[in-house]
A and B are shown apart, each in its own frame.
Chain A
Amino acid sequence: MASRHELGEPVVVVEGVEKSFGALKVLKDVALTVRRGETVCIIGPSGSGKSTLLRCINGLVPISKGSIKLAGREVNDKNLDKLSLRRDVGIVFQQYNLFPHKNALQNVMMAPIHVLKQDKAEVEARARKLLAKVGLSDKLSTYPGELSGGQQQRVAIARSLAMNPKVMLFDEVTAALDPETKKEVLVTIQDLAAEGMTCILVTHEMGFAREVADHVYFTDGGLIVEHAAPAELFGNPREERTKAFLDKVL
């Protein structure tokens, strides 16, 4: 199932990354490479540092040691314009985090207008297309509070896509959803991956990881225990720890 399309040059290169919150070491020597067009899933027990790693990639959380290169630029560089970096990275959160005072269409239009200073009419046309793409053409003027979790999450995906990111990060985006709405969101991400968008997902959806990912990383205790193509990692894990985890969740 993997590698349905040609993979390009590395977009995200993580090397020797460490991150501590006070005395707590959340990431210990993490390395990971994601190529253009690749879909990578990071799985592992809660508290293994998966979400922190994602937040490090777009500079929301500064790293303590190591290097993260995004499209050739060092994320950890103090002189780097963090804002321009973040425009290249879309991130979708578990709790959607839409702007509650704006309707669906406005949520998608805000950042391109405010941050990229793009023309309003063009942005609106694109936002309408994006919302159609995530199946929400009939919810343009609906406010987040009136949307279901799955619908909110799809608006959040459209909102990130509106910035034309080079890579999309998904932080347990279906964890708060019921099985039915979960499906809507996963299908949206799958379509995106099929179109060649570079995607990094932190997820507990083993079925999705197995089916859609090109590569799967298993993390535990701030370490990458092992990584491989999904068929291999799920079918024939090398490490005992991976085996024990998969036995529990599958």
Chain B
Amino acid sequence: MIAAFFERLNETSGLNFSVFYDAFDQSRFLTGLWTTTYICVVSIIASLALGLLGTWVAGSQSRLGRLLVRGYVQFFRNTPPLVQLSFFYFAVASLLPTVSDGFGGQSPLVSGTGWAIVAFSLFAGAFNVEIFRAGIEAVPSTTVEAAESLGYTRLQLYIHVVLPLAFRICLPALNNNLINLVKTTTLAYAIGVPELLYAASQIWSEVFNVREMMNVLLVTYVALVAVLVWVMGRWERALRIPGYST
């Protein structure tokens, strides 16, 4: 039904939304959507893990560890993500060995998608370190003191008291960073990862429907971010503490 509508729309008005009726374009676009979603989900999870790990090390006794985290945050926060991505894809990848692809050829050890995930995780992770640190610093020292005087070890203190509170405090800032991450994934276009923007550009360069595809692309990103915002919003509500405002 939808396909018939858009096919007619093309015939009558010349507005060519080929992704809705052309099976080939549709499959390319859906592959792009899937790749983008995949990069987003993996990068979000990895960046959260990196953020947590970085925050933990930054707060530890080890001077070297603290220095490393500071360096990491400074490096990835102060350089453009497109440059980081190019650095990994063109510079780092060329130092890695290639593997046989089983058909007599050689393929790189890490795919473009893989490098995109690595770069975006590191990029967003650096911001997450700062976001989590701000959240942890906002946990009242008196609450920490109470847990310490009950005999909590540092790890127990973090797991049961500091992180649950810090996480609630930093959720709004974290939301912003993760939304940014979703939008940043379009940069993977530059290294030929078949994500949404890449798929769209392939379609419009063959079908010559740039304006239509631009609209489809924008609406798709609005929807993608809306899904993320909805999930985070539910999470925030689920974590709400009666009588406590962060």
Contact = CB atoms under 8 A, between A and B. Distances in A.
Given A83-B151, A143-B241, A97 B156 contact: no
A146 B146 contact: no
Contacts of B153: 83, 115
A147 B244 CA distance: 11
The 3 A-B pairs with the shortest beta carbon distances in the complex, nearest first, are A145-B243, A97-B146, A146-B243
Nearest to B140: A97
A48 interface: no
Given A95-B142, A115-B156, A100 B149 contact: no
A39 interface: no
A248 interface: no
A146 B151 CA distance: 26
B145 A60 contact: yes
A123 interface: no
Interface residues of A, number: 31
Nearest to B242: A143
B147 interface: yes
Given A143-B244, A145-B242, A146-B243, A101 B156 contact: no
A223 interface: no
B74 interface: no
7 contacts: A83-B152, A93-B142, A93-B146, A100-B143, A101-B244, A145-B242, A160-B150
Contacts of A60: 145, 148-149
B172 interface: no
Nearest to B241: A101
Given A100-B241, A115-B152, 8 more contacts: A60-B145, A83-B153, A87-B151, A97-B142, A100-B244, A101-B164, A114-B160, A143-B244
A111 B243 contact: no
B168 A111 contact: no
Nearest to A146: B243
Nearest to B144: A97
Contacts of A90: 149
B155 to A, nearest CB: 10
Given A93-B145, A97-B145, A100-B165, A84 B151 contact: yes
Interface in B75-99: none
A146 B242 contact: yes
Nearest to A147: B243
Nearest to A95: B142
A86 interface: yes
B161 interface: yes
Interface in B124-177: 140, 142-143, 145-153, 156, 160-161, 164-165, 168
Interface residues of B, number: 23
Contact of B150 (A100, A142, A144, A163): A163
Interface string A132-166: 00000000001111110000000010011001000
A90 B151 CA distance: 10
Nearest to A115: B151
Contacts of A110: 150, 160
Interface in B8-67: none
Contacts of A97: 140, 142-143, 145-146
A89 interface: yes
Contacts of A89: 149
Given A93-B142, A98-B146, A144 B244 contact: yes
A145 B244 contact: yes
B142 A145 contact: no
Interface in A106-122: 110-111, 114-116
Contact of B156 (A87, A114, A163): A114
Contacts of A100: 143, 165, 241, 244
Contacts of B150: 86-87, 110-111, 115, 159-160, 163
Interface in B103-126: none
A58 interface: yes
A144 B142 CA distance: 15
B148 to A, nearest CB: 7
Contacts of B147: 99, 111
Contacts of A95: 142
A12 interface: no
A90 B150 CA distance: 7
A114 B164 CA distance: 15
A29 B149 CA distance: 25
Interface string B171-199: 00000000000000000000000000000
